[in-house]
């Protein structure tokens, strides 16, 4: 995998954002593989509302977000309603988050987030643009990347070093159980996965997960029995092989 970006591809574009969009999309078309099947990806001939690339073999679609800074917890995206509609659809895209070094023009980091890790709760609606703005009333959004469980932020390149293709495909394969849930129930599953990951250890207790009760109540204000929901979701994750029940009140993370 060649990590160098071809700066000449940006010739003829005035704005730097346009230049880097063309340059990074060209790099992705030449270097990125589909983490579902390992095949190469191709650029859509015409601009799509959300997707940029697709896989010939398995038809998965991808949206590329390129940043000249370290990938943070919040990523600026396009129109709010467009992304929400796509997330709720049957062909919502997977996301590729690319970080490039502005000086060396080399790819530093690349993360893939499978489409089934997206739910409306990880999209933050921005305030409409003022009436004085060129696109008055436009409502953009932020992708709350930090609220996606670490299991769903699969590293393809880290600090300029690519991971073997087979390792990336294997990591994605282990998360496929999440796609079994519909969009509405997916939010709870991802929230509990996040709580487990934040404990930063393999073995944990039910009491430790109860420690996130206030956090979960804020995210799900209409639920009046948070502890029962926690127990239910732990059972779901146990049935899916994400965790194992060791003894009363004690669990072990398997992935």
| Structural domains present in the chain | 7-172 (3.40.210.30), 184-253 (1.10.10.10)
CA proximity to 77, closest of 97, 91, 47: 97
Q: Who contacts 212 (Cβ-Cβ below 8 Å, separation ≥6)?
A: 195, 198, 230
Using 50, 70 and 90 to split pLDDT, how confident is the model at 159? very high
Between CA 50 and CA 79 the distance in angstroms is 10
pLDDT, mean over the chain: 91
3: DSSP letter: -
Between CA 185 and CA 229 the distance in angstroms is 11
Between CA 156 and CA 34 the distance in angstroms is 11
pLDDT tens per residue, range 51-102: 789 999 999 999 999 999 999 999 998 899 988 888 888 778 899 999 999 9
Per residue, the 3-state secondary structure of 34-90, as one string, reads CCCCCCEEEECCCCCCCCCEEECCCCCEEEEEEECCCCCCEEEEEEHHHHHHHHCCC
pLDDT tens per residue, range 173-189: 999 999 888 877 888 99
pLDDT of residue 48: 60
Between CA 61 and CA 7 the distance in angstroms is 26
Using 50, 70 and 90 to split pLDDT, how confident is the model at 46? low
Between CA 128 and CA 135 the distance in angstroms is 9
The proportion of the chain whose per-residue pLDDT surpasses 70, expressed as a percent, equals 98
SS3 content of the chain, % helix, strand, coil (to 5): 40, 25, 35
What pTM does this model have?
0.86
Q: Show the tokens assigned to 56.
A: 């010939």
pLDDT of residue 133: 82
CA proximity to 101, closest of 73, 67, 74: 67
pLDDT tens per residue, range 109-144: 999 999 999 888 889 999 988 888 888 899 999 999
SS3 204: strand
Q: What are phi and psi of 248, to 5 degrees?
A: -50, 120
């Amino acid at each position: 995998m060649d990590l160098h970006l071809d700066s000449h591809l940006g010739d003829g574009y005035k704005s730097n954002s346009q230049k880097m969009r063309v340059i990074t999309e060209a790099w992705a078309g030449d270097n990125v593989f589909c983490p579902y099947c390992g095949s190469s990806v191709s650029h859509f001939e015409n601009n799509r509302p959300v997707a940029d690339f697709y896989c010939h073999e398995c038809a998965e679609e991808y949206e590329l977000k390129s940043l000249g800074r370290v990938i943070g917890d919040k990523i600026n995206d396009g129109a709010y309603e467009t992304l929400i509609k796509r997330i709720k659809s049957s062909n919502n895209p997977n996301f590729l988050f690319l970080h490039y070094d502005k000086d060396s023009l080399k790819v530093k980091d690349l993360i893939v987030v499978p489409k089934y890790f997206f739910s409306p709760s990880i999209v933050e609606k921005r305030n409409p643009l003022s009436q004085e703005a060129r696109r008055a009333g436009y409502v953009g959004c932020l992708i709350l990347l930090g609220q996606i469980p670490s299991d769903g932020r699969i590293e393809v390149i880290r600090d300029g070093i690519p991971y073997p293709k087979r390792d990336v495909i294997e990591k994605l394969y282990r998360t496929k159980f999440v796609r079994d849930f519909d969009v509405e129930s997916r939010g709870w599953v991802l929230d509990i996965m996040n709580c487990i990951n934040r404990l930063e250890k393999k073995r944990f207790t039910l009491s430790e997960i109860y420690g996130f009760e206030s956090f979960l109540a804020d995210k799900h204000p209409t639920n009046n029995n948070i502890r029962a929901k926690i127990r239910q979701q732990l059972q779901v994750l146990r049935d899916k092989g994400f965790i194992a029940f060791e003894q009363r009140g004690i669990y072990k993370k398997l992935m």
